[in-house]
Structure 1
Amino acid sequence: MRSDFFSAALGVALAAGLSLGSTASAEPRHGIAMYGDPALPPDFEALPYVNPDAPKGGRIVTGEVGGFDSLNPLILKGSTPWQLRFLNYESLMGRNWDEPFTLYGLLAESVETPEDRSWVEFTLREEARFSDGSPVTVEDVMWSYETLGTEGHPRYRGAWGKVASMEQTGERKIRFTFNTEDRELPLILGLRPILKKAQWEGQEFGASGLDTAPITTAPYQIGAYEAGRYMVLERDPDYWGKDLPFMTGQANFDEIRMEFYGDSQVLFEAFKAGELNSMRESNAEKWETQYDFPAVRSGEIVKSVIPHQRPSGIIGFVMNSRRPAFSDWRVRDAMLHAFNFEYINETLTGGRQQRISSYFSNSVLGMRDGPAEGRVRELLDAHSAELLPGALDGYALPVSDGTERNRKNLRSAIALMEEAGYTIRDGVMTTPGGEPFRFEILLTQGSTEAQSMIDLFAEALIRMGITPEITTVDPAQYNERTQGYDFDMTYYQRGLSLSPGNEQKLYWGRAGVEEPGSYNWMGIDSPAAEAMIDTMLNATDQDEFVAATRALDRILTTGRYVIPIYQWSVSRIAHAAELSYHEPVPVYGDWFTWQSDTWWSEEK
């Protein structure tokens, strides 16, 4: 029913945006969309995917592999539970996950921006409060933006560099004026976490540790925790925003508990034993064959399959092109040929999982089969000198015959290595300098499925005369090494939305080649990719935006930086029968904190 959601919603929004006339002038509004008008009216009563009458109470208990050594997810240093960044903080605006990219007032009661989006002004709600009861002030907001932009995680610094000025324009008003043309900036700034300035006076914000639990405005605050074992988020009974239409039907659990385990199999056994009451399963074969334990048969545990309309993103094994081993695209292409996905998929999932074919596959934004055409071709032609084979003429991932030997693709892999100057001598692949070709595959403890894939991949490499070094480290070491790009190959996952924008530069931008902490783990340094992102950011019609994204998809995919694995076009969640969710689900499906935000417990 919703397969054309993105095309229809974006098309209507753009049509409205191009004919807004007086409504496009700067005036306070209840929400802001990347294109056109927000879908929900000013007097909306609740988001479309929540149950407005959901009861409050109960708890959800989930498991994670790994641990944590910090309570601050807003800085580069340390490792925190990923949920903290989303559940423990609020921003001026909140996102509706049933639209490509639309925000509605949260801490801010209104947003104002001119048609050219050269500035944006937010008006704070008078009733907005931190968990200690103190009011949220413009001073708190300004301090938060400047601190995150200068001392926070690199993900916050790109947008801050585009702010020419920040000023208080009224008792509860704050305005940002931009120094560059970027239509997404008002939305990006609307999503910055807000902190309490007074809490951090005399403290070093960039320090990492477990001593300071943040004072925030969110409905959930940090309760009990033990590093490496568990963390509890408790619902604040005095949460300031519980009566806002945007928050109606959200934050229903009294407690969100995260348990941490050494590996995924131990986590699964804990779920079977009743220590957890919700579990996401990524392996389709395991879902079909191992979820038949007594609690499932009795109905105490329910298996829910959640569809979505978002892009596949990229999941697989990333090759670090900063390293000599993978600086040549032909070597990376050889690895793609040597990775026998069809055999691995059959072995681990019974062939049930579809493969990711490009970064934006499973969506209208994904590259199309065959040669680039129309506006996509025009955009790419301007950078043809730097494009790799397949970007213009068409590209598809290597496909094996499904057998373990994978002879045809291994022959192609060896030929690619030879083309790059490598030779096999006495059964050993040697570099152009005559040294054995070696590289390290970095994994984190507990990554059982990734380890299984790599074991099968390593067997194929050995037949090419390559013996990789497989290193497994604890989560803290893994975080430190990947943040500093200290690896040759490692597991990589990057989710992508229906409205890609500034975050794309954090993912694939040239600054991340040397600056630590970006998500540009592959080290891509491409003026063409940057140009496509700039075109996406400033597109004023649907055709231009989609064409630029499809062109970017071709550049990334034919860069051969990642060996893609499974595509998860659905989410599989096994959960206690008393945990419920509202239908229809949002277009983004099981995205970030949909479960924690909108589910509820029927437990008496």
Structure 2
Amino acid sequence: MTHPLRALLHGASLLLLGFTSLAQAAPQHALTLYGEPPKYPADFQHFDYVNPDAPKGGTLRLANYGGFDSLNPFIPKGNVESRIGLVYDSLTYHSPDEPFTEYGLLAEKIEQAPDNSYVRFHLNPKARFHDGEPVTAEDVKFTFEALIEHGDPMYRHYYADVSEVVIEDPLKIRFDFKHQNNRELPLILGQLQILPKHWWANRDFAKTSLEPPLGSGPYRVAKLESGRTIRYERVKDWWGQDLPVNRGQYNFDAIVIDYYRDMSVGLEAFKGGQFDLNLEYSAKDWATGYESAALRDGRMIKEAFPNHNPVGMQAFAFNIRRPIFQDRRVREAIGLLFDFEWSNKQLFFGAYKRTSSFFENSEMAAHQLPDEEELKILEPLRDQLPPEVLTEVYRPPVTKGDGIIREQKRRAYQLLQEAGYRIENDRMVGPDGTPLTFEFMLFQTNMERILLPYKRNLSELGIDMQIRRVDASQFVNRLRNRDFDMTSATWGQSNSPGNEQREFWHSSSADNPGSRNLIGLRDPAIDQLVEGLIRADSRQSLIAHARALDRALQWGFYVVPNYYVDTWRIAYWNKFGHPDKTPLYDYGLMTWWHKSDKAEARPAQAASAGDSQ
């Protein structure tokens, strides 16, 4: 498609139209989703959740799990090292203190068309890659085209509405859009991590590699051992270190990440002083796993930071490509037999809340009957959606927590009978006599203690769930190839959901290896709800569309919802400082700084300040 600005040589009238459009737009220091003023003005000096005078120095040692065999995070191959993003800068910086605001980074100014037909990025002339070469519009275009042609399928979904990329001069690039109603697209494009065209000229972008990549970000890869450890070192002459968005951040001279077999091994390594900070996911370990002299005397600190992010959906996900899971009644029945209340009491020390929404912990969660605006969205789809979507509020089953779930078993049996199942020789069998049996795939050993009671409940109704543990590499490959029956999955959500919903739920992503459509959804009604959400033109409309989509997903029983906690639970050795204030939507690890190499004791009562749930 040819944009009018590309046709300047074809007529003065088009030239005039182009200049008229340009005259209406003004370069800005920040972009917001609906044109509302950003929190920080054009002349801001630093974010208010940082210490602008934080000292530089020291090493931060972290842990990750499983392993890695690639430093190319942009393609759907390999196990990518978790912090490789530290090497790259993006066009804009996503503020963790606002729902969806992007401030200039590589692009010092951003220019959005009043009618949202394009976005233009003005690159900072000071921007440099680590080899000293300037970051140019050529690099931006190369990055975009490489991602579309060879990158993870999510990029094609994210950028599906881009019609053309136009280099206007060496430091100016414009993205033209097919439609004017995708308000999120300019901000999504700002999140492009820019790659050096000259460096990739003699390398295959589509292949995994452990060669340290060239970037323009705050750190570079200094040393690595495949699958086991990697060391990043701060770029001392980093071009962007004095920008307002970076001031007070990236304070460690080095960041070292060691990989462990699983979280249990990692916890013991942390307590042995092998790394410095542990983000804890286990309620049991948070309650009891850190008990030690170091915790009591204050050398080790446990702290819970408020998490205001939507937590999305963590769940046991059905692969509905499998014939046994294509009947909604079968999925509902299997979900009824997960006893969250017992698990929370016996396994989680009462620390969790039950997830019931795909936009949990946010105003977008459908926790009440649909209002008038939602009904306008849903009514045209009434015949294509489960009847409960328009008339009932979805709530997961609630038990007494004593392990006795007779009511849930009765309802599950009733649903299975309606689906043509029966009990035969103590096994649940389908209309064709095939037993209802399936495999649950996982790679973390600590998940087994949650699954074993669930397996017992299923077996009491004649359903056979086999637990299959695989290594991290096999787990990733089987997910990508859709070679699983059921697994544990998480769909994270932002405060401004948009294009990524195509990759989660849309028919177009069902067959794309590596997409997040793990379930295998191919539902025209859900497709329409996804598109409506992406094209919402106000915050109110976004909320209505998100709730409408939420209801369709809830009542489809595509997952067995798990649980969530609304804090970040962090244990760390007392040799770091951090700002008193954290951003709303992050705990701000890159704002911390190193105080000493030795853990410092502090009063014991302070050490447990973050223990309560």
Judged with a 3 Å threshold, the aligned counterparts in structure 2 of structure 1 residues 148 and 465 are, in CA distance, closer, same or farther, namely same
Q: Distance in 2 between matches of 1:81 and 1:413?
A: 42
- Could you say what secondary structure the match of 1:385 adopts? helix
Q: Which residues in structure 2 correspond to 1:491-510 (within 5 Å)?
A: 491-510=488-507
Q: Which residues in structure 2 correspond to 1:442-461 (within 5 Å)?
A: 442-444=441-443, 447-461=444-458
Which residue of 1 is the match for residue 370 of structure 2?
372
1:599 aligns with 2:598: no
Determine if contact 1:224/1:231 at 8 Å carries over to the other structure: yes
Q: Distance in 1 between matches of 2:48 and 2:380?
A: 43
CA distances 1:12-38 after superposition (whole Å, capped 9, x unpaired) = xxxxxxxxxx99941111110111222
Moved >3 Å (runs of 4+): 22-25
Q: Distance in 1 between matches of 2:69 and 2:441?
A: 21
Q: Distance in 2 between matches of 1:520 and 1:82?
A: 22
Shift of 1:376: 1.1
Which residue of 2 is the match for residue 18 of structure 1?
none
1:218 aligns with 2:217: yes
Shift of 1:57: 1.1
- Could you say what secondary structure the match of 1:382 adopts? helix
Q: Distance in 2 between matches of 1:512 and 1:434?
A: 33
Q: Which residues in structure 2 correspond to 1:19-418 (within 5 Å)?
A: 25-36=24-35, 37-84=37-84, 86-181=85-180, 182-210=182-210, 212-369=211-368, 371-394=369-392, 395-418=394-417
Q: Distance in 1 between matches of 2:348 and 2:75?
A: 37
Determine if contact 2:117/2:177 at 8 Å carries over to the other structure: yes
Which residue of 1 is the match for residue 423 of structure 2?
424
- Can you give the 5+ residue segments of structure 1 that lack an aligned partner in the other structure? 1-21
- Could you say what secondary structure the match of 2:304 adopts? strand
> Which residue identity is paired with 2:108?
E
> Which residue identity is paired with 1:555?
A
> Which residue identity is paired with 1:384?
R
> Which residue identity is paired with 1:505?
R
Which residue of 1 is the match for residue 547 of structure 2?
550
> Which residue identity is paired with 1:206?
A
Shift of 1:318: 0.7
Which residue of 1 is the match for residue 13 of structure 2?
none
CA distances 1:324-354 after superposition (whole Å, capped 9, x unpaired) = 1211111111111011111112121122211
Judged with a 3 Å threshold, the aligned counterparts in structure 2 of structure 1 residues 335 and 25 are, in CA distance, closer, same or farther, namely farther
Q: Which of 409-418 and 24-33 deviates more?
A: 24-33
> Which residue identity is paired with 1:66?
G
Q: Distance in 2 between matches of 1:577 and 1:256?
A: 17
> Which residue identity is paired with 1:385?
D
- Could you say what secondary structure the match of 1:408 adopts? helix
Shift of 1:46: 0.8
- Could you say what secondary structure the match of 2:389 adopts? coil
Judged with a 3 Å threshold, the aligned counterparts in structure 2 of structure 1 residues 31 and 24 are, in CA distance, closer, same or farther, namely farther
Which residue of 2 is the match for residue 17 of structure 1?
none
> Which residue identity is paired with 2:480?
Q
- Provide TM-score, normalisation by structure 2: 0.91
- Could you say what secondary structure the match of 1:477 adopts? helix
Which residue of 1 is the match for residue 514 of structure 2?
517
Judged with a 3 Å threshold, the aligned counterparts in structure 2 of structure 1 residues 33 and 437 are, in CA distance, closer, same or farther, namely same
Which residue of 1 is the match for residue 528 of structure 2?
531
Judged with a 3 Å threshold, the aligned counterparts in structure 2 of structure 1 residues 23 and 350 are, in CA distance, closer, same or farther, namely farther
> Which residue identity is paired with 1:326?
F
Determine if contact 1:48/1:98 at 8 Å carries over to the other structure: no
Shift of 1:108: 0.6
> Which residue identity is paired with 1:574?
A
Pick aligned residue for 1:468 from 465, 469, 482: 465
CA distances 1:34-78 after superposition (whole Å, capped 9, x unpaired) = 112222111011122211111111222221220111111110011
Shift of 1:204: 1.4
Determine if contact 2:318/2:558 at 8 Å carries over to the other structure: yes
Q: Distance in 2 between matches of 1:311 and 1:104?
A: 22
> Which residue identity is paired with 1:523?
G
Q: Distance in 2 between matches of 1:466 and 1:443?
A: 19
Q: Distance in 2 between matches of 1:147 and 1:309?
A: 35
Which residue of 2 is the match for residue 4 of structure 1?
none
Q: Which residues in structure 2 correspond to 1:551-570 (within 5 Å)?
A: 551-570=548-567
Q: Distance in 2 between matches of 1:247 and 1:589?
A: 15
> Which residue identity is paired with 1:533?
V
Shift of 1:312: 2.0
> Which residue identity is paired with 1:364?
E
CA distances 1:298-337 after superposition (whole Å, capped 9, x unpaired) = 2111111110222121112111111112111111111110
Q: Distance in 1 between matches of 2:96 and 2:67?
A: 29
> Which residue identity is paired with 2:213?
P
Determine if contact 1:76/1:152 at 8 Å carries over to the other structure: yes
Determine if contact 2:318/2:487 at 8 Å carries over to the other structure: yes
Q: Distance in 1 between matches of 2:409 and 2:400?
A: 11
Determine if contact 1:380/1:528 at 8 Å carries over to the other structure: no
- Could you say what secondary structure the match of 2:568 adopts? strand
> Which residue identity is paired with 2:61?
V
Q: Distance in 1 between matches of 2:485 and 2:73?
A: 26
Shift of 1:455: 1.2
Shift of 1:159: 3.4
Shift of 1:424: 1.0
Shift of 1:511: 1.3
- Can you give the 5+ residue segments of structure 2 that lack an aligned partner in the other structure? 1-20, 598-613
Determine if contact 2:220/2:234 at 8 Å carries over to the other structure: yes
> Which residue identity is paired with 2:78?
G
Identity percentage of aligned residues: 40
Q: Which of 92-101 and 399-408 deviates more?
A: 399-408
Q: Distance in 2 between matches of 1:584 and 1:374?
A: 39
> Which residue identity is paired with 2:149?
T
Shift of 1:389: 4.4
Which residue of 1 is the match for residue 601 of structure 2?
none
Q: Distance in 2 between matches of 1:48 and 1:555?
A: 40
CA distances 1:249-297 after superposition (whole Å, capped 9, x unpaired) = 1111111111111121111000010001100112233212222212111
Query: Could you say which structure has the larger radius of gyration?
Result: 2
Q: Distance in 2 between matches of 1:391 and 1:25?
A: 43
Pick aligned residue for 2:474 from 477, 494, 497: 477
Determine if contact 2:158/2:500 at 8 Å carries over to the other structure: no
> Which residue identity is paired with 2:214?
I
Pick aligned residue for 2:537 from 518, 524, 540: 540
Q: Distance in 2 between matches of 1:93 and 1:514?
A: 31
- Could you say what secondary structure the match of 2:395 adopts? coil
> Which residue identity is paired with 1:65?
Y
Q: Distance in 1 between matches of 2:378 and 2:404?
A: 37
Determine if contact 2:280/2:570 at 8 Å carries over to the other structure: yes
Determine if contact 1:92/1:106 at 8 Å carries over to the other structure: yes
